[in-house]
């Protein structure tokens, strides 16, 4: 239904595109991995574009394609467009090959080339290529073609594609920010700028909608019931959440902090991981695909770990799936703010006790290690295609049994090595549980180092 709405809402300039989506380049780089900081700017002016926190945006012409000092009016380095890289490239006025270069957030001193592509299957999509650094100071996308400077790299790929999806054509237009008159945080937007179009789901504390921002940008909108959390506390938490930028975390675009609170994020076309694996197409997935999806989640959580943040509610329902089995962690940090008595009591019906580590459920001690416990439970959801953990047990029974040392047995068709990994996540002593960095590496190398002789079974 959401895809149908997008098709109907598509501007007429996209007549050749069967759908709008962002397609990650799995072999090189994935959507959203880096903040949009270093940018090439368009040479010719374009009509204005609206971005939350900016008004009457114009495009400026750079004097040269090179980094400028931070106080230069021609600098192509900016931190203001992190959430808007792909929407900027997907502007219907851009043609295939439109590009920008930006700083890598995950690798200090590295860059990323973002390139607009089009094909008959996926329509308009954005591919991202990591620009790596040479020890001598040069740059390359493929090691066989190194360059001394970024300018030489760009000039080369403007002459020929040489392995890219398309030759570089136009520089992506970037708007100038408004520098005065911003009474609120630039991430705060007007409720009137959002359209709630297709209801995607609902829970105890609110609803999730597919919608449009300013009539142009597809977004996901989480609406929270009044009283769910303090607007002041939420806004404070959002200040932290918006700094978390990783390819495997759902990107926070903007917020409406007055009740009812709206949280605006990137739109993930396939919905929650829980619903995805329970659906007919999810039932067709086999272990390699499922392990890859789990490794993506571990990658996002490894970044959360590195940033000294805690999720508090990691489960399949809070992971979203996009096209090409891309998985991203969502709703990080929100659980701490919920003020509902049935939730804060930690034994109430609304509290996700089956995913919660004992020290967190009993004493409220939430750490990244309690997230690791939750990840182990999430793994059971993935390999069982959405089965509720601890089948046949109620919450109180789960707490009692886990305290006595009970751990879920190995699911059907699941390799013992993967179940052993789950058991390490469920160690009683939090310090004995693995790091997410370890979990990511284990899962990424699983079929190379752990199960090289894997053969598909009836279920997995």
Among the options 34, 103, 170, 313, which is catalytic?
313
Check residue 92 and give its pLDDT.
62
Quick: pLDDT tens for 394-452: 999 999 999 999 999 999 989 999 999 999 999 999 999 999 999 999 999 998 888 88
Quick: pLDDT tens for 358-376: 999 999 888 999 999 999 9
Check residue 243 and give its pLDDT.
77
The predicted model gives 255-270 an average pLDDT of 87
- Which carries the bigger pLDDT value, residue 335 or residue 352? 352
Q: Is 222 annotated as a binding residue?
A: yes
**Which of 120-124, 288-292, 379-383 has the least mean pLDDT?**
120-124
Q: Can you tell me whether residue 176 is helix, strand or coil?
A: coil
The predicted model gives 63-73 an average pLDDT of 30
Quick check: 188 and 256 in contact, CB under 8 A?
yes
CA R_g for the chain:
23
- Which carries the bigger pLDDT value, residue 343 or residue 331? 331
Quick check: 103 and 39 in contact, CB under 8 A?
no
Report CA 277 to chain centroid distance, whole Å: 18
The predicted model gives 74-92 an average pLDDT of 49
**Which of 114-123, 187-196, 427-436 has the least mean pLDDT?**
114-123
Quick: pLDDT tens for 55-64: 333 333 332 2
What is the C-alpha to C-alpha distance for residues 63 and 149, in angstroms, rounded to an integer? Answer: 17
Q: What is the pTM of this model?
A: 0.61
Identify the structural domains of the chain with CATH numbers, from first to last: 13-159 (3.30.505.10), 191-265 (3.30.200.20), 273-450 (1.10.510.10)
Check residue 105 and give its pLDDT.
55
Q: Sheet harboring 262-265: ordered strands across? A: 194-203, 206-213, 217-224, 262-265, 252-256
Q: Phi and psi (nearest 5°) for 4?
A: -60, -40
Report which of 6, 15, 82, 13 is spatially closest to residue 47, judged by C-alpha positions: 13
95 has a pLDDT exceeding 70: yes
Check residue 43 and give its pLDDT.
27
Burial class, 435, CB count within 10 angstroms (exposed 0-12 / middle 13-18 / buried 19+): middle
Check residue 4 and give its pLDDT.
55
Q: State the pLDDT confidence band at 300, using cuts at 50, 70 and 90.
A: very high
The predicted model gives 219-231 an average pLDDT of 78
**Which of 140-149, 230-239, 265-274 has the least mean pLDDT?**
230-239
Quick check: 96 and 149 in contact, CB under 8 A?
no
Looking at the DSSP bridge assignments, the partners of residue 38 are 77
Running DSSP on this structure, what letter comes out for residue 145?
Answer: S
Quick: pLDDT tens for 129-187: 888 888 888 999 988 899 999 999 999 999 999 999 999 999 887 754 433 332 345 57
**Which of 40-54, 174-188, 321-335, 389-403 has the least mean pLDDT?**
40-54
Q: State the pLDDT confidence band at 385, using cuts at 50, 70 and 90.
A: very high
93 has a pLDDT exceeding 70: yes
Active site residue 331: no
């Amino acid at each position: 239904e959401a895809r149908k709405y997008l098709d109907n809402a598509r501007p007429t300039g996209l007549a050749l595109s069967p759908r709008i989506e962002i397609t990650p380049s799995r072999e090189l780089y994935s959507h959203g991995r880096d903040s949009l900081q270093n940018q090439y700017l368009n040479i010719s002016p374009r009509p204005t574009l609206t971005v939350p926190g900016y008004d009457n945006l114009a495009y400026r012409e750079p004097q040269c394609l090179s980094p400028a000092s931070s106080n230069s009016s021609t600098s192509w380095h900016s931190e203001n467009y992190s959430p808007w890289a792909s929407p900027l490239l997907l502007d219907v006025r851009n043609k295939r090959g439109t590009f920008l270069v930006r700083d890598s957030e995950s690798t200090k001193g590295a860059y990323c080339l973002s390139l607009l592509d089009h094909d008959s299957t996926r329509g308009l999509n954005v591919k991202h290529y990591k620009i790596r650094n040479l020890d001598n100071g040069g740059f390359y996308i493929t090691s066989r073609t190194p360059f001394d400077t970024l300018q030489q790299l760009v000039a080369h790929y403007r002459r020929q594609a040489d392995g890219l999806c398309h030759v570089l054509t136009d520089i992506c237009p970037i708007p100038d920010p408004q520098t005065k008159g911003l009474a609120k945080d630039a991430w705060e937007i007007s409720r009137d700028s959002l359209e709630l179009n297709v209801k995607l789901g609902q829970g105890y504390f609110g609803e999730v909608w597919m919608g449009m921002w300013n009539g142009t940008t597809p977004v996901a909108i989480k609406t929270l019931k009044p009283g769910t959390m303090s607007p002041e506390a939420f806004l404070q938490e959002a200040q932290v959440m918006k700094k978390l930028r990783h390819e495997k975390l759902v990107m926070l675009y903007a917020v409406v902090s007055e009740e009812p609170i709206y949280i605006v994020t990137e739109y993930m076309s396939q919905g929650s991981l829980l619903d995805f694996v329970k659906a007919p197409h999810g039932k067709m997935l086999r272990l390699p695909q499922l392990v890859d999806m789990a490794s993506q989640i571990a990658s996002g959580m490894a970044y959360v770990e590195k940033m000294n943040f805690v999720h508090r509610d990691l489960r399949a329902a809070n992971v979203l799936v996009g096209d090409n089995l891309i998985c991203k962690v969502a709703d990080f940090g929100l659980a701490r703010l919920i003020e509902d008595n049935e939730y804060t009591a930690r034994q109430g019906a609304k509290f996700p006790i089956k995913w919660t580590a004992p020290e967190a459920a009993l004493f409220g001690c939430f750490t990244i290690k309690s997230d690791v416990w939750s990840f182990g439970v999430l793994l059971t959801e993935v390999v069982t295609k959405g089965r509720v953990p601890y089948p046949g047990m109620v919450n109180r029974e789960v707490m009692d049994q886990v305290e006595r040392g009970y751990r879920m047995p190995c699911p059907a068709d699941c390799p013992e090595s993967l179940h052993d990994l789950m058991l390490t996540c469920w160690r009683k002593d939090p310090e004995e549980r693995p790091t997410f960095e370890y979990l990511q590496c284990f899962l990424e190398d699983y079929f190379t180092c752990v199960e090289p002789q894997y053969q598909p079974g009836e279920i997995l």
